[in-house]
Amino acid sequence: MEKFMFLFRGGNIRALSPELMQHHMNKWLEWMETLRSRNILVRSEPLHPTGMVVSGKNKVVTDGPFIEENEMIGGYTIILARDMEEALSVSKNCPIFEMDGKLEIRPLREITR
């Protein structure tokens, strides 16, 4: 099995009422539990909306990220899958799509000497 990272973009739940937000969060928890029960969930965490950006050879530090909200990475999940096709199949049940968000799939590489 290979490792794949899902990067979640957009899908602004802050526009929802508290009740709808809770409903949407429950869908995320259910989806994560499905991944866990299939023994393919490696790790999953949301990201804080702000952080720092270090840029260039002079290592200039700025508050960030400064990008459109629908392009901001809100979190990630790492799963195990046979190949990209299986990872794509797993991704299609993600609740991010209900909020018109995006899910980017990236295969992870091991660093070896």
113 in any annotated domain = no
Give yes or no for residue 95 having a pLDDT over 90: yes
Per the structure, the complete domain to which residue 42 belongs is given by 2-107
The pLDDT, as a whole number, for residue 72 is 83
The pLDDT, as a whole number, for residue 67 is 67
Contact of 101 with 91, CB cutoff 8 Å: no
Place of tokens 């790790």: 43
The pLDDT, as a whole number, for residue 44 is 97
pTM: 0.88
29 in any annotated domain = yes
List pLDDT tens digits, range 28-76: 999 999 999 999 999 999 998 888 889 999 999 988 766 666 678 889 9
> Distance between CA 96 and CA 11 in Å, rounded?
6
Number of domains in the chain: 1
* 104, β-bridge pairs: 7
> Distance between CA 99 and CA 39 in Å, rounded?
26
CATH number at residue 99: 3.30.70.1060
> Distance between CA 93 and CA 34 in Å, rounded?
10
Closest CA to 97 of 50, 40, 36, 28: 28
The pLDDT, as a whole number, for residue 69 is 65
Give yes or no for residue 17 having a pLDDT over 90: no
> Distance between CA 105 and CA 48 in Å, rounded?
20
